[in-house]
Structure 1
Amino acid sequence: MTKEPDFDAVVIGAGISGLYQAYRLREMGYRVLGVEGSDDIGGVWHHNRYPGCRIDSESEVYGYFWNDQLMQEWNWSERFAAQPEVLRYIHRAAEIMDIRKDYIFDAKVNKAVFDEKNNFYTIGFQQPYRAPLTARFVFSALGPLSTPQMPNLPGINTFKGESYHTANWPRDPNGFGPAKLDFSGKRVGVIGVGSTGVQTIQEMAKVAGHLTVFLRDPNWCTPLGNGRMTQERMDYIKSNYQEFTAKCDASLAGFPHEFIQKNLFDVPKEERDATLEELYEGPGFSLWLGAYQDVLSDPDANKYVSEFVAQKIRERVKDPQTAESLIPKDHGFGMKRVPLETGYYEVYNQENVSLVDLHATSITCITPEGIETSDGLHELDVIIYATGFDAVKGSWNRIDIRGVDGVALKEEWDKGLTTYMGMQTPGFPNFFMLVGPQSGATFCNIPRCSAMAIDWLSDMMIQAKEAGVQRIEPELAAAESFTLYATKLQGKLLLGQTNSWFTGVNQNIPGRDKREVLLFVGGNPRFQAYCNDVRENNYKGYVMS
């Protein structure tokens, strides 16, 4: 005789995607429980409260678009909203969904084991006071950038000053932003120059007595183009939300930018350069996702744009040697996610800022007094680690997920990542991933693209409920076919030939030096078409029983 689970569904995670998925399941009549490892909702926006943190999506296309009340009442204050405002928005959305009551907090999942006899998962928690629970279906909304990664350096815990990781920043106990820390007059060191590092460096340069940036691999950064959101523009947006969302849905990555349907060298040089100048000034990802159609796939076109951006860096940074250190040599423009900035390069012209090029020297260890390099000791009062995440797979790898015959998901993925539309892996029935490896929402404007994946999954779950389905699993052949499709698409873009978190390479993790297909880079419309074809053909590739 089989047992009944405690819940029909469990949603792991209370970020933007998890909250919406839990809401959809509840509204369609599932007995659902949300579990969140932290003490509150918000996901990355709850944890990442470092100074300068903000979205790189235009505010009007970042969020929920299924609730007219929220869309009409909410007024963004900036074109690219800062972290406190984004978190405040999420809290307001949760109020409208009345979803908090369906969650338990301080419940960090460390195990999910499939029971083949009963077709449900037993979920265990890191906190010893949390009893295990059972659920028929598991929806893991863990986030592709939610497992912080410290650098692999000796002596980190010996430092006597203040140290912070940007993804675990002290919080304001009475607000949505960072704690009110005073860095004025202090000697601050920042390790890391990805999107987070760039934002942090811009703010630290304003207040630190001296700021030392430890640079290993520079990124191509372009202006954010931020500004105040006028009420007139906000009113226009509210009257035309459908226009904005339709543009995002038709674009490669869910942003309001469209590639120019011409090849770069088919355009006269004067016109081409004028266009690049305009795109460089923003807003947002204008140059990355709105340039000529061949810039991300043709090496010569990419080299041209890379040299254009390199020249911008040389113009903005006064010291030629510093400028050259800030120009990437290991990848072309757009091969990694492009950090957006406001006066970032000008920071290096300030007398209170110095750059340590880790290609010319190297960090040997962290000492009680600061950071030791092969050139000597840099004495510091504060070290900020802007060293990113164990991206995309990391959040799933940290949980002991067991499927049919007790097979571990991490071990299966170590052999080679195979998914069906980035939503499930064969051999792991009833276990769904939101914004995970090979999902169309991962290389995308996540709130917009994840909502479409959640709506698709929710349609399937409605049919499953009506049919009394207790087990949903992808066929191996279907998953292999989808993964091959994702592999071919990635191979067409230059980013697929570049070492980055996009391709699973992480220098801070032993053994993570081989590229793999973690993203679906074929674009939003192509991913939607694939998913819709599966649905219209009676969910082909799935076995439901």
Structure 2
Amino acid sequence: MGQDSTILDAVIVGSGFAGLYAIKRLRDAGFSIQAFEAGDGIGGTWYWNRYPGARVDLECWDYSYSFSPELQDEWDWPERYPTSSELMRYLNHVADRFHLRESIQFNTKVTSAVFDEQANLWNVTTSYGKTVKARFFVPATGVLSVPKPPEIPGIETFGGQTYHTGRWPHHEVDFTNKRVGVIGTGSSGIQVIQALAGKCKHLTVFQRTAVFVVPAKNHPLTPAMRARVRATYGERRAISRLTRFGIAVPMSSESAVEATVEERQKKYENAWENSQLLGFRMCYGDILADEAANETVAEFIRGKIREIVKKPDVAEKLLPRGFPFGTKRPCLGDTYYSVYNRDDVELVDLRATPIERIVPEGVVTSDGLHELDVLICATGYDALTGALTQIDVRGLGGRKLTDKWSEGAKTYLGLMTAGFPNLFTVTGPGSPGPLANMSMSIEQHVDWITHCMEHLRDHNIDRIEAGQHAEEAWMQHVQEIVSRTLYLKANSWYLGANVPGKPQVFLPYLGGHGTYRKKCDDVAAAGYEGFVLRHRAESEAANEPVNAGHGEAARSAAAGMLGGGA
């Protein structure tokens, strides 16, 4: 095994939104770093997700970096919701503009990261067998980056072409005169279905769960539109940092159940016509907390489905039921429901006729064989933890991270996990993560990590670790917050329900991006309350902590932080 004698300040994993920003911030702060990327190019999630129709579901003004006013002003977004190819173009521009590519080693997987307690160093081994030593390990591996394959008997026997939306080939796929089947109707499935309808011989959609799809109202951007946003970018970003979802639209404090039918109808019609992903959730403050309030939105959208889909029996299959609106990620789609008015598109309701097996000719359901030439699996991801647990991470005493998280991931603030010193997770479990604007959350996390590393450097501290009791208190708080909402009434990927055998624990923090940001800032301002910090000299001599982060002090510190609500 090769070994580099150079000791780095940090190893970063990934070169998507999080990895690129981590490279920039840590390098600018004077830290020596090395980033590793499994792919052969920049982009992270968008490098792998190149399926037809792939695009982000937040407006470009929000799903972009805010750290550079010059970058904001010089980049011309072509559409309200950028495609994956446009996001790749943007991220490659960022990498080149700030000379980030030189710090990345491509085509290299990190296979293991083992903490050396005596040296306070991470030994990070790559797929090339080389081990790099670094004081800090910063996996910026993404929330949705490990595809979950379908658990269907016989899938390996299919005689046609098989693709997964999360690992799409980097060459164009020709669907002309092909019979195409799509399994899954989450966000990726919705997008690929819209893109392929009418561009193949026949499209069969295998729907496991009907989902709520609201209009994207996507449109090209004019110079005047861009100029308008640029003039208010500073204010827009400042507001976004304080709001629940990390975008410049505050949550309403009004109640849906207290509003009149006419008032609700007017608000919902406006949200439908001028929608964005979070539009309906922000109409009223009780949408995600009160079942009666939630049902007013759900039934409004069901009414729209009935209006759009001309075949009543098909419309009925498309009506989402069995979970509250918003508790599974709602999807954007301008043409999704109208697709089913086409004669060359067929909807197969797997609740009524489940898949039995896959054979060389196609998919066999309880209703018979559906012959296919192409099978597309839009079956989602091992979300929030999948990418990190694929690496053999070992902390104090050689304990594996997978063993610690065997009953559910635990972190303190979504930033560190007890027993794994000097390991920072970017938008990790226990942070707002996918329930807020990811680009805003990424910047907040990387900024916090950078300031923390600067503090440690300035104060001659060589180890920081999440305190056990602070971690327990934080994860309890995460569960307390979600218990006040309707999210636990859905079997969603937010709690790992889509991955067989995965512990079902709700992992995103629902207290809101603005509330969470303040909590993190308060912890840092209080000397990194709840964390264990050790000075280099003290660690060598007496192994005594600077801020123990355990016992009564940690419990009281955690209690003082946990006052935020949903």
Compute the TM-score of the two structures, normalised by the length of structure 2.
Answer: 0.92
Would you say 1:355 and 2:347 are equivalent positions?
yes
Give the 3-state SS of the residue equivalent to 2:229 in structure 1.
helix
Does residue 1:27 correspond to 2:28, yes or no? yes
Aligned twin of 2:133: 134
SS in 2 for 1:289: helix
Q: Which residue of the partner structure matches residue 174 of structure 1?
A: none
CA distance in 1, matches of 2:151, 2:134: 38
In the alignment, is the contact (CA less than 8 A) between 1:226 and 1:283 conserved in 2? no
For residues 289 and 304 of structure 1, what CA distance do their matches in structure 2 show? 11
Q: 1:257-314: per-residue Cα shift (whole Å, max 9, x none)?
A: 3322210122221121111111122331243332110011001111121111111111
Identify the residue that residue 172 of structure 2 maps to in structure 1: 180
8 A Cα contact 2:158 2:360, kept in partner:
yes
CA contact (8 A) 1:5 1:134 kept: yes
CA contact (8 A) 1:257 1:285 kept: no
CA distance in 2: counterparts of 1:312 and 1:164, whole angstroms? 32
Q: Counterpart of 1:346?
A: 338
Q: How far does residue 497 in structure 1 lie from its aligned partner after superposition? A: 3.0
Secondary structure at the aligned position of 2:163 is classed as: strand
Q: Deviations over 1:385-439 (max 9, x none)?
A: 1111011111112111111011111111113432110011000001110022112
2:442 to 450, 464, 469: 450
C-alpha distance in 1 between matches for 2:172 and 2:411 = 44
Q: Offset of 1:487 from its aligned partner?
A: 1.1
Cα drift, residue 474 of structure 1: 1.3
3-state secondary structure, aligned to 2:524: helix
Quick one: distance in 2 between partners of 1:443 and 1:130?
A: 37
Once the two structures are TM-superposed, the CA of residue 152 in structure 1 deviates from its matched residue by 0.3
C-alpha distance in 1, partners of 2:129/2:222? Answer: 47
Q: Work out the CA distance in 2 between the residues paired with 1:111 and 1:286.
A: 38
SS state at 2:54 partner:
coil
Aligned residues of 1:110 and 1:399 also touching (Cα < 8 A)? yes
Question: After TM superposition, what 4+ stretches of structure 1 lie above 6 angstroms from structure 2?
Answer: none
- Corresponding residue to 1:305 among 285, 297, 305: 297
Q: What amino acid is the match of 1:55?
A: V
Residue 500 of structure 2 aligns to which amino acid in structure 1? P
Equivalence for 2:199? 207
Q: Distance in 2 between matches of 1:192 and 1:407?
A: 37
State the one-letter code of the partner of 1:528: R
Structure 2 unaligned regions, length at least 5: 535-566
Deviation readout 1:160-180 (Å, 9 max, x if unpaired): 211111111111xxxxxxx33
* Percent identity (aligned): 39
Q: Which amino acid aligns with 2:450?
A: S
Instruction: Report the equivalent of 1:115.
Output: 116
- Residue of structure 2 in register with 1:45 after alignment: 46
Q: How far 1:4 moved relative to its partner?
A: 7.5
Unaligned runs of 5+ in 1: 172-178
Q: Matched residues in 2 for 1:65 and 1:304: separation?
A: 36
8 Å CA contact 2:385–2:409 kept in 1: the answer is no
**3-state SS of paired residue (2:12):** strand
Is 1:330 the counterpart of 2:342? The answer is no
- The superposition leaves residues 111-157 of structure 1 with CA deviations (integer Å, 9 ceiling, x where unpaired) of 111111111111122x3x34121111000111110000110012212
Report the AA paired with residue 96 of structure 2: E
TM-fit CA distance, 1:256: 3.3
Contact 2:281/2:287 (CA < 8 Å) preserved in 1?
Answer: no
Q: Hey, what does 1:149 align to over in structure 2?
A: 148
1:523 corresponds to: 512
Aligned equivalents of 2:83, 2:387: Cα separation in 1:
25
Secondary structure of 1:315's partner? helix
TM-score, with structure 1 as normaliser: 0.95
Which string of whole-angstrom CA distances, capped at 9 and with x for unpartnered residues, describes residues 321-375 of structure 1? 2111111222111111111001100000100000111011111111111111121
Deviation at residue 5 of structure 1 after TM alignment: 5.7
Aligned letter for 1:530? K
Alignment of 1:215-364 (within 5 A): 215-364=207-356
Distance in 1 (alpha carbons) for counterparts of 2:297 and 2:72: 37
For the residue of structure 1 that corresponds to 2:283, the secondary structure is coil
Equivalent positions of 1:371-450 (< 5 A) are 371-450=363-442
CA contact (8 A) 1:436 1:442 kept: no
- Equivalent pairs counted in the alignment come to 531
Bigger shift: residues 469-478 or 191-200: 469-478
Residue matched to 2:531? 542
Task: Show the 5 A alignment for 1:188-207.
Answer: 188-207=180-199
User: What's the offset of the Cα at 1:517?
Assistant: 2.6
SS of the residue corresponding to residue 205 of structure 2 reads strand
- Report which stretch shifted further, 129-138 or 293-302: 129-138
- Corresponding position of 1:167: 166
Correspondence for 2:491:
499
RMSD: 1.4
Aligned 8 A contact 2:323 2:489 in 1:
no
The Cα shift of 1:255 comes to 2.5
Q: C-alpha distance in 2, partners of 1:250/1:288?
A: 19
Secondary structure of the corresponding residue to residue 61 of structure 1: coil
Q: Is the 1:442–1:520 contact (alpha carbons within 8 Å) kept by the matching residues of 2?
A: no
- Quote the residue 1:510 is aligned against: 500
